[in-house]
Chain A
């Protein structure tokens, strides 16, 4: 937990043992519970196929023009699906698919309640009836796109092996629809993802990737691959990851932005984990490409690429160095100044983890001109980004040399940092107070304590720190008090305390012991 991290940071400071960079680096997830809406710029987990697509039209030519949409009641559907008339089966399946494809409130529950899923799964195996296979696949895709329970119904209907074998269907549109369905199943969570992997979904899926695969199809494959890389607890099996990675890296070189985006998302999932998982990605040599993509004008590419690099720098110093060598520091200034708050935030988070590194890396951060955008962000950024920027400054002052800290102060960090003491977030305030203590430690070494005091006062920091002495949060008020009073360890050594002698003065005496320092 962050509080503990801070505590151990303090301990390290006291013991002068130098910091342990791994503890300063913050993984993405600090808290598993979310109060917010699911993030809008995350990649979509499951997708429903809504509108009629070109492929659909080419499949049933003239259907739209003839306007012959056959309306069937649910009862009629059940009857037809369970019946043996192939024409009716097709009509009913198509009607089902159409209902499930409508824009608003698709009746997924009702369809599931009809109990026709096993039958639809069975249709998938009717290799002699491609239209039926396709309609069933589509319908099932859309059912699987719903909630976990919906996906579960499809999986329990036995759809996994059926879809996997359809990957090798001679009809490209059926194979593509299966890719989509499998993507929805994989997107449900680690359980089904691994069920798919155990059913050997990866080899036939990868086999579909070729220079002649149409772009639209390739998009679906990339998306499904990304879902196979996604989710933790547990992570996808390592050998599966190793199989997918080379293909993902090829896909990242594609010119289609959706394909690039989804392959970046896939890599971002693979890097969102322990250092050995990060290492697998670093070893592929893909970091320079990812950094290049971070600078893409396309938000959908920039976001996952930044996310992936952000994850990499949560790793070891060497992994972080690999990202630095790939040029991440040259791209970050732009991203820190990006108009979109979430990009600012992710960029600042990335920076904060680089700032948690050894002072050589901090030096590179200075040399590459990261301080001005960091200060700007701290001053004017969105609050989410400001919070991360505060962490960046905190880590910088913990690990930086005195000269580096001076440079930080000279770049004007103090004013916006002190202003943020008004933030409505206890943690941020505490981190700032710790940072101020770090600054004072540096100032003491330089004999500049008095100047720093004046500066803090001039920037209205003093009155803010004073006001925090009445903060409701215990740790915040103690940290503020400490800064005002400075640390003071007044503990006594009871064994050495003299007693009082007959004259009422202290007795000077001691028992000898064995010494060993």
Chain B
């Protein structure tokens, strides 16, 4: 493409078409531009247009197109053709900086982005004059130009803030410092001077302050990796000026906007960051300046208003103080009683106040409010910063700070008492202050885990929290109600049990509050109280203690779900689940009504599932209803099936993906409740469960495997007789799972169930195939997890079909295969098997190989007999894994191992661990001894001679122990 007027004209027309709302016009134009962008001069045509076009819209469009073109094409990827010809590259680099600087802001931004994309590739080696070109513009005196340069520099240098130290990076930084640091410093000084000469010119000040912000940001980037020599030498200049800017105020720069931070706030905020950077990383050099900054920053805090626009500045500033006051060598800056008092009074207390914005959120955006207040997503808020400062100060000054605040708390409470309806915010602040003062460590699961011993939490609770909650009207002073409930919640481990018991009816009562925050907190508090542990791993609050409240609790919880804004409130649903789990059989009388309400809810939300946690707890609650009821009355399973299957069918038919894994789990639970052969309603579904589309979704895999296992346990014979043609499909699922490193263990679960439950003749023809598959996986991509599962499987097979059958099938696949597996897999890897049942299966299987497999005694495999026995003894003598106690009541979704968003395992649908060798073998060590004894009677003399010649002494000693315990001797 030549740089001709004709081409410019064509390009203009196509660019114009790319803005057309009609895709029929727009798309071909975009296609055309893409097709010509590889031609020489194309980028130069764009640059020409964005500079010279008559129409502003074309200029802007050309600049955006140019930037995107650079973004797509500038990088030279190895082994791929260079997409921009060299002469264009040179021309672009030669022209872009002046062009950017002379363009109006809208275009300048695009070109500045383009420069930084090019810079990322070419700077510094392939663009050596970029820096000088930029620096030279500092002298222009035109702040439009200067800001363009600064902005570009910022986008070039800001990566220094996150990249790892490397020779390449530091060489670049050094180069930048050599060329840039001094001019930047001079510009900084000059700009500050201009600020005072133009102190009365609002529009000039705005431009100058934009420059200062960019300069301060550049300072941060250039000083991030290490303290450069230049900046150390010029620390006085920079820090003195930063310091005075922090204290500067100018009416002309104040904005009316309450929300958006103005230039002054942005600048001061960046300066706080700069000071924090130096304080953290270059303490030794920065020490002389630090006290000044501490003073300036707290003065800044004292004089800054409550408006939202100051939030970032204030929280940055407070965080700075919080980080400094924890450092031992700055302790002295804070320890004076007056200083402490003034920080508490003027910095902490004001920033803990409940502001209009908070009130608004409490009422209109309660979800966000709860998230911030309860779940700690409040990192940038003022309250949080103030809290951190309290904690920081308490590190050295816990006593004095507690003393000062106690005074404040008392006076705020008195204010409140004078006129509660006007002064309720004082009480809110008092509660917040007590909370932040008292809490030293906290988790979601346990609330406060470490408290300040100087604060009497129970006394405060009895005197100031309970009275609010006892008040007749649950809707009065909702913020204080929420505060009070939160107090119970977070200090539940500090407040004595009798006080908690007194609180429970109060909390149940507040489930009826209209305020979303209040009834949500009440539900959440109950749920947390119900998960507290008492002695002996039971719940602190017992079902018996709850007996008087069962009805009202359940009623209020379900009623709360009908309050406006709470129809899918996860806290309430979780409280329902936890209540069921705590109350157990005392909920049975209410089940008919409960299950109706839950199925209605399920039906409603399945139309558009949007609250994953809510849904999860709803299914947990359904599972609990089933378990609790069927435990007392197994026949009730039918009525649950009746209530649920219709909704389930709808969910499966409509393919509600979020719910399908849950449905499978509930169905597994129901199926396992059946004592007899599988009902036909389940069998009708069987072929559908083998559909590949279901298995492609990872979230379906664990619950579907579990469901198929339930089918095999209850219906193996039915499958063999009535659905034999589906067996290949079933094994196909196994094959699918085994191919994946992530899901292979699920494949083994399925395979183990098939081997255990299916009649042998029904799977006979497939057995060899199964092993070939497993060997293939073993050969191609062996992982520890796979090996562990594999070992358990072959031993289970051995138990079921006999050791000889195992040896024969291996050797039929490939001669000497059995020996290879013993030598390369079983003997070296058996110690990796974990889990009591798994170990037991392996022990019994190996015992069979040792004692019931003739080729082990009279072929070349005999040499493996002793090593295998030794490996088995090793397996026995490994420290046993402690089984996990039955603590399912306490399980949270987050804690369930293997939980992923896609899977959603239901804790209360869980099944008991299954031990396929349970009845057969009680003590595998004794079993080994007895089996060896049997073997030795069959071939007298051989076993003792093998043992005495090759078994190592320690193993032999263990073995003798087993023999003694079994009261047998080897012949």
Contacts and interface: CB of A to CB of B under 8 A. Distances in A.
Interface stretch (B147-155, B226-234, B304-312): B226-234
Contact of A512 (B174, B376, B726, B772): B772
Contacts of A3: 164, 166
A459 B170 CA distance: 35
B171 to A, nearest CB: 5
Interface of B: 159, 161-167, 170-171, 173-174, 177, 224-229, 232-233, 277, 280-284, 327-328, 376, 379, 441-446, 449-450, 687, 690-692, 695, 698, 725-726, 728-729, 731-736, 738-742, 766, 769, 772-773, 775-782, 784, 813-814, 817, 820-821, 824-825, 881-882, 884, 895, 900
B164 to A, nearest CB: 5
Given A471-B162, A503-B725, 4 more contacts: A34-B170, A454-B446, A510-B776, A517-B824
Given A424-B281, A513-B779, A505 B443 contact: no
A472 to B, nearest CB: 4
B728 A507 contact: yes
A36 B228 contact: yes
Contacts of B687: 505
A433 B766 CA distance: 48
Interface of A: 1-3, 16, 30-37, 341, 380, 382-383, 423-427, 430, 447, 450, 453-454, 457-459, 463, 467, 471-473, 475-476, 485, 488-498, 500-501, 503-510, 512-517
Given A476-B162, A498-B735, A514 B814 contact: yes
Contacts of B825: 517
Contacts of B772: 510, 512
Contacts of A517: 778-779, 782, 820-821, 824-825
A425 B281 contact: yes
Contact of B173 (A35, A425, A505): A35
6 contacts: A382-B283, A427-B165, A498-B739, A512-B813, A517-B779, A517-B824
A467 B379 contact: yes
Contact of A493 (B161, B449, B739, B821): B739
A498 B820 contact: no
Q: Name which of A2, A494, A496 has the most chain B CB atoms within 10 A of its CB.
A: A496
Nearest to B901: A485
Q: Which of B164, B449, B782 has the most CB of A within 10 A?
A: B164
> Would you list the 10 A-B pairs with minimal beta carbon distance, nearest first?
A506-B732, A505-B729, A496-B739, A508-B731, A472-B162, A33-B170, A517-B824, A473-B162, A498-B735, A490-B742
B441 A459 contact: yes
A284 to B, nearest CB: 34
Contact of B732 (A476, A490, A501): A501
Given A458-B441, A506-B692, A510-B772, A1 B166 contact: yes
Contacts of A1: 166-167
Nearest to B442: A458
Given A490-B742, A495-B780, A505-B690, A510 B769 contact: yes
A35 B442 CA distance: 41
Contacts of B161: 424, 472
A501 B728 contact: yes
Contact of A457 (B443, B820, B881, B882): B443
Contact of B226 (A36, A476, A515): A36
A472 B820 CA distance: 50
A510 B820 CA distance: 21
Contacts of B776: 495-496, 510, 513, 515
Contacts, number: 189
Nearest to A340: B284
Contacts of B690: 505-506
Contacts of A35: 170, 173-174, 177, 225-229
A471 B726 CA distance: 51
A383 B691 contact: no
Nearest to B821: A517
A66 to B, nearest CB: 42
B177 A31 contact: no
A508 B732 contact: yes
A423 B773 CA distance: 50
Contact of A341 (B284, B729, B813): B284
A382 to B, nearest CB: 6
A515 B775 contact: yes
Contact of B284 (A382, A430, A504, A516): A382
A424 B224 contact: yes
Contacts of B736: 497-498, 506
Given A36-B232, A473-B162, A506-B692, A490 B445 contact: no
State the majority secondary structure of interface residues on B.
helix
A508 B171 CA distance: 60
A492 B740 contact: yes
A413 to B, nearest CB: 16
Contact of A426 (B163, B775, B813): B163
Contacts of A507: 728, 732
Contacts of A515: 775-776, 778-779, 813-814, 817, 820
B739 A497 contact: yes
A113 B36 CA distance: 63
B370 to A, nearest CB: 17
B379 A463 contact: yes
A299 to B, nearest CB: 15
B919 to A, nearest CB: 28
A492 B167 CA distance: 39
Nearest to A420: B280
A493 B166 contact: no
B740 A2 contact: no
A127 to B, nearest CB: 46
Given A383-B283, A424-B277, A425-B281, A488 B166 contact: no
A508 B441 contact: no
A492 to B, nearest CB: 5
A341 B286 CA distance: 13
Contacts of B884: 447
B769 A33 contact: no
Contacts of B900: 485
Contacts of A513: 776, 779
A177 B346 CA distance: 66
Nearest to B775: A515
Contacts of B173: 35
B773 A496 contact: yes
A424 B895 contact: no
B177 to A, nearest CB: 7
Contacts of B228: 35-36
A492 B734 CA distance: 14
B692 A505 contact: yes
Nearest to B222: A35
Contacts of B450: 458
A84 B709 CA distance: 112
B739 A489 contact: no
B162 A508 contact: no
A503 B729 contact: yes
A34 B736 CA distance: 56
Contacts of A506: 690, 692, 695, 729, 731-733, 735-736
A472 B698 CA distance: 30
A3 B164 CA distance: 8
Contacts of B376: 463
A450 to B, nearest CB: 6
A424 B228 CA distance: 16
A493 B226 contact: no
Contacts of A34: 170, 226
Contacts of B732: 498, 501, 505-508
A227 to B, nearest CB: 24
Contacts of B225: 35
Nearest to A493: B739
Contacts of B444: 457
A31 B229 CA distance: 16
A505 B728 contact: yes
B741 A505 contact: no
Contacts of B782: 517
